Structure 1
């Protein structure tokens, strides 16, 4: 059979049949750099929500058609990727492991013939192989633990090899793929069509509260395991935390705990109870440990809007009940167990006083100043953080030189500074502070002569220098924000004039005054953004980010802590300086612009609230 020597640049329509309907994938909103504050329509990026039904190779298919057919078949979800394997030789079909990893490209890979070579094993027929080069722009990888890792936009280039083999009837020789990279190769749109981001939950090391660990799960039945979406999610939880988060969290499931053999579908009963059958490894656990295991499951599946679960029942391998854990008990294991929605943000007014934005107001309002020296003008506040229990606030003043902590519940004198920077000018002094869920206060001293990250236990203790092996005179911490669970820290870092967004893991060793605190293994989570201006936590594993894509304009967008884009839509806004969100995703966003403080509530556009103001923050 003659080989088709022409390069292939687009998918063949013979390789796949599709069914589906159009849907919208939310992206981000663009914001001009000049002009008055005004709401604009959110931009949306359309993506056809189709289900791919791959078809096997036809007889006498040309090599290029085999390559394109296989690439299309990888985007489907037929059991065992059986159709995709039909494009492979028997040996390649046995050794190919699509579950090993997923490589995500910005667009569908381009396949182009790159060479020929002797055919292996002395096979009959045309004595040659064909090599095809697969190329594109790689933007992320997903490992076998479902963890997403963005890589910016780097050149992808791998080769696959085709050989000729006898057809089933022995009358001819068909081209088949004999060597290929392990895993799946998908475009970004195919990846988003097939996978969904979910949070698994584990316990902060040595603590009683849970931490979110985002992973990506197949939306429909997994081709390899045969599990439905809900069962895949529980199975991923049992596999343990992702490699990045693992040093800072613990699971309460005994080692080796799995779903009972051949479990592929989990469903809720008429009481919205999810029954989870486990293997023998979990049969001997005590009641309190079982409660924590069930809590991990309920927090995990409770985030799935497609499935309503009000309680979880863990079962022994023989079907007997281990324990039941309900929605009303979740506060036992939250970093912030305080009930109710906190929807009152704080900001610094034009006079440098700390004030609140009252909920429900639709027009400009008079500020309500807090009690104490930060609200009465004794200290001119420049940046601020409010403790999560809203009893204390930490404020930076004196041109970034001093950090003080004072009550905002009662009037009191101005306290002495807890931290003082010796930086030569305000930009090289103290950052805005941030509280974590342990009630510890964090701040960065940006003095290039002695850069340091500090933590004050309980918010008023002696400053302790955090171990930061990545921090030196060439790196500046522009902004820091601690997660509610205290295990992760979002960082805006500037190096060589470029400000980028990172997530760091907080590790603690020892206890009491001798405890050593470290921020390690920082990961770039917005590598495709050339600059980041503001960041705030907006839920267990989500951030609100103000920044600029390479070659683009300023945008406000949601971003997962693993670096993947969120689907939520945010209307655009002009001249934004900073944004803030609450841990509870139902609370409105707030932002500071040239003309004051504005607020975004669900279902409406941005609303002006205060004509003059800066540094909007929620507790934390």
Structure 2
């Protein structure tokens, strides 16, 4: 995902269109940093594999220091069970009502480290301040977008150290002010989140394009599906939504009630702008986005197998469906673009050569020399264009065999 400037010119347009077809399958090899295993996205109907779950611990009566409370809160907030019910026991009543991290998180490659408390005031007005620091690996937005910091971030966040404020409640320290997002280690992120795809339309409105987001594994069925549908209506602010893709949902479309799941069928009731003059083509596009985005999801419940779309409570049935509002993938008029590439794996070696392999065990083939220092790369299926990221988030693009050109913008995220 790229924030900032946009590619220009005929060659750039060709590169973007080619890259869209590659996004679902491109593989990148970082040139440095820790080796971390993350859950990978799964195809429609795929089932989540069993993963370790974090067991949250409530605050203990013998914890007498603010540092113990902050450490306990950080550990407990990594568990999404019951809307982080245990983590909320560390908060004051007012902060419990205000704290709504949703899917937002800062992921640490080192840390988060809890510093020593500083105190101000006396008696019942005594307040403690605890600073949390570390090296941020990525920032997860409230909609699940994964953003890599544009430069090496220290101090707990790209913007600097994070401050927790605490006060005494019934003789025990409780957090009165916490950051509006989770602070996760790489380990807890690995087992807390799963990569899923939102689906939007390409510029020609012919094919669906995957836009990956991270969602909590322990999210309830309703909150997960509600969040995914919200993202379809309000696309994440990444580079795909800035001209490369679009959503078929009209602006100011709303959901009426929660998305429900019954017998494998997700029922989505929409209102607002979509109710004004929605035609059959629009409804087919909306239905396709919902199908490919929701199929296989379901949070901690059963996986979604089909979708029933309603507008203002009235079920919609496409033509030729015998008035059956329950839709499955085989009935969708729109599908993701498909196509095979002779070279499936690309990576850059230590001397800056771009290599490809037809399989993990095949002999590598040199494609071009692009230089060192890149953390991620993507090659268009026609092998004409390459995009590469530096550690500081700088994006370089160009034709294979020609010097890469740095693109204008304020930083980049994952390719």
- Asked whether the two chains share a fold, i.e. TM above 0.5, the reply is yes
- Unpaired segments of 5 or more residues in structure 2? 1-26, 40-49, 319-324, 345-357, 398-406
Q: What is the 5 A alignment of 1:160-559?
A: 160-165=164-169, 167=170, 173-222=171-220, 227=222, 229-248=224-243, 249-263=245-259, 265-269=260-264, 274-283=266-275, 284-302=277-295, 312-323=307-318, 326-328=328-330, 332-335=334-337, 342=340, 344=342, 481-482=379-380, 490-492=386-388, 502=395, 521=409, 523-525=411-413
Q: Which residue of 2 aligns with 1:142?
A: 140
The 3-state SS of whatever aligns with 1:56 is: coil
* Counterpart residue number, 1:115: 118
Cα separation, 1, equivalents of 2:362 and 2:214: 41
**C-alpha contact (below 8 Å) 1:220/1:229 kept by paired residues:** no
The answer to whether the 8 Å contact 2:295/2:304 transfers is yes
Q: Establish whether residue 69 from structure 1 lines up as the match of residue 72 from structure 2.
A: yes
Change in Cα spacing, 1:500 to 1:135, as seen in structure 2 (3 Å) is closer
| Partner in structure 2 of residue 574 of structure 1 | none
Q: 1:292 to 1:175 in 2, by over 3 A?
A: same
Deviations 1:139-158 (A, max 9, x none): 00011222110126421222
The aligned residue for residue 59 of structure 2 is 57
Deviations 1:482-537 (A, max 9, x none): 379x9xx751378xxx9988487xxxxxxxxxxxxxx7648444xxxxxxxxxxxx
* Residue pair 2:256, 2:312 contacting (<8 A) in 1 also: yes
2-structure distance, mates of 1:304, 1:321: 22
Query: CA contact under 8 A between 1:503 and 1:522: conserved in structure 2?
Result: no
Deviations 1:51-84 (A, max 9, x none): 2332332335212321222111211113333322
What are the Cα deviations for residues 302-349 of structure 1, in whole angstroms up to 9, with x where unaligned? 47699776654312232422436553455745445xxxx746559xxx
Higher RCO (CA 8 Å, separation ≥ 6 residues): 2
Change (3 A) 1:304 1:523: farther
Q: TM-score when scaled to structure 2?
A: 0.64
Distance 2:203 2:30 in 1: 40
Write the distance in 2 (CA, Å) between the matches of 1:522 and 1:204: 24
CA contact (8 A) 1:108 1:187 kept: yes
- Contact map agreement 1:277 1:314 (CA 8 A) in 2: yes
How big is the alpha-carbon RMSD for the aligned residues of Structure 1 and Structure 2?
4.5
SS of the equivalent of 1:103 reads strand
State the Cα distance separating 1:221 from its structure 2 match.
Answer: 2.2
Give the 3-state SS of the residue equivalent to 1:242 in structure 2. coil
Cα separation, partners in 2 of 1:132 and 1:522, compared to 1, 3 Å: closer
- For residues 479 and 46 of structure 1, the distance between their equivalents in structure 2, rounded to whole angstroms, comes to 18
Higher-helix-fraction structure: 2
The structure with the largest strand share of the pair is 1
CA distance in structure 2 between the partners assigned to 1:499 and 1:150 by the alignment:
9
- Point out the structure with max Rg over C-alpha: 1
Contact 1:203 1:209 in 2 (8 A): yes
Alpha-carbon distance in structure 2 between the residues aligned to 1:210 and 1:331: 11
> How many Å separate the matches in 2 of 1:305 and 1:116?
45
Whole-angstrom distance in 2 between the partners of 1:295 and 1:46: 28
Contact kept in structure 2, 1:220 and 1:228, CA below 8 Å: no
In structure 2, relative to structure 1, the CA distance for the partners of 1:255 and 1:310 (3 Å cut) is: same
State whether residues 161 and 180 of structure 1, in contact with CA within 8 Å, keep that contact through their aligned partners in structure 2: yes
Which residue does 2:90 correspond to in 1? 87
